[in-house]
Structure 1
Amino acid sequence: MIDLTVPAPLNAEMPDPNVQALVRAEHSDPFAFLGPHRDEQGPIVRAYLPGALGVDLIDANTGGRMGEMTLGEVPGMFTIRPLDQRPYRLRIRWGEGEQEIEDPYSFGPQLGDMDIYLFGEGNHRELGKAFGAQLVEVDGVSGVRFAVWAPNARRVSVVGHFNGWDGRRHVMRARHPSGVWEIFIPRLAPGEVYKYEILGSHGVLPLKADPIALATELPPATGSVVAQPLEFVWNDQQWLEKRQHAQAHNQPLSIYEMHVGSWRHHEDGRVLQWSELADQLIPYMHEMGFTHVELMPIMEHPFGGSWGYQLLSQFAPSSRYGSPADFAAFVDACHVAGIGVILDWVPAHFPTDSHGLARFDGTALYEYAHPFEGFHQDWDTFIYNLGRNEVHGYMLASALHWLRQYHIDGLRVDAVASMLYRDYSRKDGEWIPNRHGGRENLEAIDFLRHLNDVVHTEVPGALVIAEESTAWPGVSHDTQGGGLGFAYKWNMGWMHDSLKYIAEDPLNRQHHHDKLTFGLLYAFTEQFILPISHDEVVHGKRSLLDKMPGDRWQKFANLRLYLSFMWSHPGKKLLFMGCEFGQWREWSHDHELDWYLLRYGEHQGTQNLVKVLNQLYRQHPALHQRDGKAEGFQWLIGDDATNSVYAFLRHGDDGAPVLVVHNFTPVPREGYRIGVPQAGEWQVLLNSDDEVFAGSNAGSRGAMHTDGIESHGQAQSLSLNLPPLGTLILKP
């Protein structure tokens, strides 16, 4: 074979500073030295391959050997001068065998100028398809393109099993002035584990996971994984076509909140995988009558005890429950079955784990630099600096990734209050005012408005829901009118007041009557969801059933009454798993729910009640159609504190009212007269004390007839027998 090279002269007196920088793993621009170049002597190819025994240059077109590369005085530094510049491969001899591969430093810049521009502008809405690890083909060669933002790094390398975790092997190209680093590594395939090795101003940082990883190792391992592109064949077109109507404000929204890892376990004790969950959850959702399931964060997170709220992978479903494709199949199955899927999403803060976003390039990059702005004292987490274009765009792209890539129907944004206020949970002197001297976080407010506008435009019908616990005005109002633009706001005030009321001994409830009426003063200022979430059944707060006062019978009666109050009150519904059958224990993320309780009548009865409540809620427009409008609600009795009785009408667009009466004492009220707007027969739709709900079968049932007796401003009235600690729901 003809050797098409000439020896490359070596300078033994003074090592090349480029070589010195490569050896020290400090070279910031290896593409300027390694790979194919031309100098005054002609073509030259350099390769730095620490640990290699020898390297041949191979003609990429013919497979012929072009020559053996010369090993210089520095181990691993190989050089050759080919007679001409042509596509080539490297045949590398390692101690464990031989490898033939294209030279990563023979490829030009990978990301397009528009990708770089949009990223810097904070408006790249497809980061999950551009940055991170992307399977691509370049010049007919398949491999993986890596791209990561680290503007203050002196050097960034991709490391993994494929290069022995050696940061000298695949040093990336810096795309100035964007701060983006990139490299194309030929022949890598899906499943490769990788991280970034970053040289900061003060030395090498702990290895970093990819902020835009599409898949991850199974915790407690922390590596990112090259993901196969999601080429899932969706079957949910019919659902998506009707979703905008189905999720409108005048439609029923009954959400079952759940933690995937603790809903049910497999017989062998392991957590269910996505396909197994779909097989069990979907029939249960149909049986119970919920319209949507809301999943506590399923984005990858290092510590299971954070329940997913301290997550590090804003683009990757947790590997605990299966692959990204498995998750897509779960969502698709829910949609085909007519069930919406909402995800909890956390743009407020992130954990301090060294392999994550914290001081990603050695500086405060994703977080604010000053601890008064950038550190959550309550949660021991860092706060996203959403005023930085790149971080703003990163979080915006994450939201769109779940909504578009996985067909998610809504995002519930966690901890919005902590985003809105710079002094959230801080004492005087522990926070930094905004540029106007105020306490509002203007950057976060701009982000939330932008997020909601973009989602509204690009994913019509998708919901963005705020968990916001303050009196911030206009959370669910249009951004054009100064609002934040959310579809819904969690009604935390209703939750706190009603739970405090129901926990009172019935003898004392007369002194707290306003706890249930006060919420109606502001019930129509926002589009509200009534949340009984996981937060209310942990950390010593006791389960929903165990919050109820009285003996065993009264606890179950109070629970049925409370759920009936919730389902009949204006506002959409959210109930945490286990509350629907009266779990006694607080929720634990380590254990499945106590399903064995359904062997007992009281628990079966509570579950039956939730089924009926969901059925009534969905079937009767008066109970959901005007949730956010004052004309959808009418007080009949709001002032009977002595008897702890409340009565009101719910109205839909068709004018057919629904009458709701609650008796919050264990005393049956015989012949209790209530005015109604229509004469004739009224049908009892629900009596929460019915024996089918494990009640005592007291109170009115069946058909009731009005009397021509004026009461509560109405010309007609009904004489009802109110069950103890019970609810009656009637319609004309």
Structure 2
Amino acid sequence: MRSRVRQEQSAQPLIYQSQIEALSAGCFKDPFSFLGPHKINDSRYEVRCFLPGATMVSVVMGSQQIAAQRQGESDLFVATIDCTSVPEYQLDVSYADKASHRHYDEYSFASTLDEQAMYLFNEGSLEHAYRHLGAHFTTQQGVEGVRFTVWAPNASSVSVIGEFNFWQRQRHFMRFHPASGVWELFIAGLKEDQCYKFAITTLMGEVLDKADPFAFKMQQAPGTASVLHASKATVKLDEHALKNRAKRNSIESPISIYEVHAGSWQRRDDSSRYLTWRELADNLIPYTKALGFTHLQLMPISEYPFDGSWGYQPVGLFAVTSRYGSFDDFVYFVQQCHEANLGIILDWVPGHFPSDPHGLHRFDGSHLYEHADIRQGFHPDWNTYIYNYDRAEVRSFLIANAMYWLHEFGIDGLRVDAVASMLYLDYSREEGQWVANQYGGRENLGAIECLKQVNLRCYANNPGIMMVAEESTAWPGVTRHVEHDGLGFGYKWNMGWMNDSLHYMQRDPLYRAHHHHEMTFSMVYAYSENYVLPLSHDEVVHGKGSLIEKMPGDDWQKFANLRAYYAFMWAHPGKKLLFMGAEFAQRREWNHDQSLDWHLLEHTSHRGVQETIKALNKVYCNTPALYEQDTSPAGFAWLDSNNSAQSIFSFIRYAKQADDFVVVVSNLTPQVYHDYVIGVPKAGRYQVILNTDKPEFFGSGVEVTSDPEQIILTQNMLNHGFTQSVVVSLPGLATVYLKKVSDES
């Protein structure tokens, strides 16, 4: 490059007055059209810099420095350089406190925005949008720095503000790309853990300071800023791990899920400090494995401002909450789950977002992420905002977020929160408070399509995962494939079973005979979906009491009822989910601000429930009849569903191998029944493999049979449609499992 540099003193009037006024006001939509190097003629360039607080500015080109001239009393500095092409330079800036700083001019860098990716983003199909939007450490034109990208199509100006520019919105104006509605800027020399936001000037002149929707790290409340994070290689699964994941999550595998709120499972320092991810890895994972659970489900861990939301009102969907440690600490926790062959599921919240000023609400001054019509965009139950699922970019945002957790961390699956609230336009609304769809119906067509696309793309790109819907209505085809007009989930929570069975168990045994159907009705629809039976956190909050306190009777009866109920649940078709604390019969309602009451395990009653769960999981995982045909009518048969007089339920669970089955009997009254006859499909020797009335479970010790090996021989008696029967004693408030161990009689 041929260049001749000379310094010019300008005594001209301010020729850039309008630009100076716009820059000073912090509102400049096209900064690259004015700032940075600009060709004046064939042999001269002008470098323009707007640097609030600067006293002197020089353009540094190798060993040469060219003083830039301040334009009047403004913060605009202009240097004229004789050269024939765009010069390579840095800026040497002095400030009033005599500090000086040399840096690259942000407006000397070309755009690196991927136009094809932005096309997909605007189309609603950019699966890895988090790789293109947000803040990313990168190298541009041989210089290391951070590329900031944000979608704000209706803003009149957007600036990057942060610790590195003293939060001045007049400093780092971003480049606007009208075709995609995306703003972009590369800033050199930034460091990890520096805080930043986007200062967005709306079309009405209002200035909104917004956190980055795609930030990988955010400040913990009360902080509201995004934090620069150098995204590293995260959890990569090898072929063996992928096979394990697929087997773990299969519909034909045993799935027993331990649901956990990471902030209140255990605490340290007299219950005032959260466990870190590394402490949870050392304590929670071994505990979960010791109890025999196959999966660990974490309540939402995306960054959220309000502890009382339990994570269900997230602001930073791509940021692991800093409550429990660093990003790397969470990666370590996930890796330890994989090492232990423990599936890990995350709660995911695509149904709504909170109104915090730094969040998504009115992001660029318009209703960008939420629906503009309050009848569709505001959730009356939670005072939150509902995503505009009809908007393609919002679909890209949500698809990419689901993909982020599954692809980058190797997570086993996502449990999608509040699906019913997404599906229905009239959800929790009175007449006149909702708007029908284009066909006059109440179905939210945009949300339906969004969920289908999330499931399609997540399964296609992450083989062996499980997508689970918390869906509380009779919506058809939640777990049906999308190509067969389903929503495409792998599993659905069976809220009907949960509600009916809990209603039944809460009744005094004296009155249960009149409500027998509440325990049997679930089998009418058991094969309509792939179900998970949930006893989740929702059943032990908001005045509902704990599970143990829902049970009727004196203390012994409460514990006996709960153990019998758990065993009935573990034998019922469907995968299992139990919220933390329920495994040892926590007496208090769950409180997110306190540790579980681990001291209760000093009592034999509570230890007995914990031992029951351990035994149930062991029997469940080792008995294919209890899980292999959960979704097939061939896997279940009632022996007697009509014995309401005695409140006894008896049925058979079958494995794929016809001779492999388990007989289950639940006696849900305190009455002990001796010489109780149960018809069985085959003659032979049957063994008691579970009895919830065992002394080690805090039971009364009534034995099903007097045989020390717990073996029962069949007899030639017609009962329950079979020619062979076993005669047993049924303990009160207990569930018993019998398994045929040989054909000998």
TM bucket (normalised to shorter chain) is over 0.9
The share of aligned pairs that are identical, in percent, is: 47
Does residue 1:543 correspond to 2:542, yes or no? no
Q: How does 1:6-155 map to 2 (within 5 A)?
A: 6-7=7-8, 9=10, 11-12=12-13, 15-40=16-41, 42-59=44-61, 62=62, 64-84=63-83, 85-96=86-97, 97-155=99-157
1:236 positional shift? 6.3
Q: Please say if 1:311 is aligned against 2:314.
A: yes
The Cα shift of 1:42 comes to 2.5
In structure 1, the partner of 2:671 is 667
Deviation string, structure 1 residues 69-88 (Cα, Å, up to 9, x no partner)? 11111321100001224200
8 A Cα contact 2:395 2:450, kept in partner? yes
1:259-314 Cα distance to aligned partner (Å, 9 max, x none)? 00000012453101101100001110121000000000000001011000000111
Alignment of 1:106-505 (within 5 A): 106-232=108-234, 234=236, 238-267=240-269, 269-505=272-508
Alignment of 1:615-634 (within 5 A): 615-634=618-637
Task: Note the residue ranges of structure 2 that are not aligned, 5 or more in a row.
Answer: 741-745
Once the two structures are TM-superposed, the CA of residue 386 in structure 1 deviates from its matched residue by: 1.0
Give the Cα separation in 2 of the matches to 1:81 and 1:13. 15
Question: Does the aligned pair in 2 maintain the 1:57–1:89 contact within 8 Å?
Answer: yes
Residue 435 of structure 1 and its aligned partner are, at CA, apart by 0.6
Aligned partner of 1:4 in structure 2 is 5
Instruction: Please tell me whether the aligned partners of residues 10 and 72 of structure 1 are also in contact (alpha carbons under 8 angstroms).
Output: no
What CA deviation, in whole Å up to 9, does each residue of 1:394-441 have, x standing for no partner? Answer: 000000000001111100000000000000000000000001110000
1:5 match: secondary structure? coil
| Residue in 2 that maps onto 1:553 | 556
Partner of 2:743: none
Contact 2:237–2:410 (CA under 8 A) maintained in structure 1: no
Q: Which amino acid aligns with 1:297?
A: P
User: By how many angstroms is 1:716 displaced?
Assistant: 0.5
Query: C-alpha separation between the residues in 1 aligned to 2:543 and 2:21?
Result: 60
Aligned pairs, how many? 728
Q: Measure how far apart 1:123 and its partner are.
A: 1.3
Amino acid at match of 1:662: S
CA distance in 1, matches of 2:646, 2:20: 88
Q: CA RMSD in A?
A: 1.3
Residue aligned with 2:675, SS: strand
**1:65 offset after TM fit, Å?**
2.9
Deviates more, 1:324-333 or 1:592-601: 324-333
Q: Provide Cα deviations, 1:182-211, integer angstroms capped at 9, x if missing partner.
A: 000010111110001000022233310000
Residue in structure 1 matched with residue 719 of structure 2 by the alignment = 711
Is the 2:153–2:364 Cα contact (8 Å) retained in structure 1? yes
2:739 equivalent in structure 1: 731
Q: For residue 216 of structure 1, what is the amino acid of its counterpart?
A: M
Amino acid corresponding to residue 664 of structure 1 in structure 2: L
The answer to whether the 8 Å contact 1:8/1:79 transfers is: no
CA contact under 8 A between 1:230 and 1:324: conserved in structure 2?
Answer: no
**In structure 1, C-alpha distance between the alignment counterparts of 2:47 and 2:140, rounded to whole Å:** 20
Structure 2 vs 1, CA of residues 158 and 684 (structure 1 numbering), >3 Å: closer, same or farther? same
* 8 Å contact kept, 1:331–1:341: yes
How far off its partner does 1:241 sit? 2.8
Residue 330 of structure 1 and its aligned partner are, at CA, apart by 0.5
CA contact 2:262–2:298 (8 Å) conserved in 1: yes
CA distance in 2: counterparts of 1:87 and 1:682, whole angstroms = 86
Q: 1:670 is matched by which residue type in structure 2?
A: H
Determine the C-alpha separation between the residues in 2 that align with 1:520 and 1:401. Answer: 37
1:567 Cα offset (Å):
0.4
Aligned counterpart for 1:607 among listed residues 607, 610, 616: 610
Counterpart contact for 2:236–2:408, Cα < 8 Å: no
| Residue pair 2:23, 2:170 contacting (<8 A) in 1 also | yes
SS at match of 2:718: coil
Give the partner amino acid of 1:540: G
Corresponding letter in the other structure for 2:21: Q
Mapped pair 1:687 → 2:687? no
- Taking the aligned partners of 1:256 and 1:203, their CA distance within structure 2 comes to 50
CA drift at 1:628? 0.9
Cα pair 2:114 2:132 within 8 Å, conserved? no
Are positions 1:581 and 2:584 aligned together?
Answer: yes
Contact 2:303 2:322 in 1 (8 A): yes
How far apart are the structure 1 equivalents of 2:13 and 2:299? 62
CA distance in 1, matches of 2:394, 2:191: 29
Q: Distance in 1 between matches of 2:167 and 2:348?
A: 32
> Cα distance, 1:235 vs. partner?
7.2
- Residues in 2 aligned to 1:260 and 1:226: alpha-carbon distance in whole angstroms: 24
1:95 Cα offset (Å): 3.0
Which digits, 9 at most, give the CA deviation of each residue in 1:96-148, with x for residues without a partner?
Answer: 41111000000111212112211111111112221100000001100000000
Question: What's the TM-score once normalised by structure 1's chain length?
Answer: 0.98
Distance 1:241 1:55 in 2: 60
1:47–1:77 Cα contact (<8 Å) kept:
yes
Shift of 1:10: 5.3
Return 542-551 or 203-212, whichever deviates more. Answer: 203-212
In 2: Cα distance, 1:397 partner to 1:632 partner: 38
Task: Tell me the residue number matched to 1:646.
Answer: 649
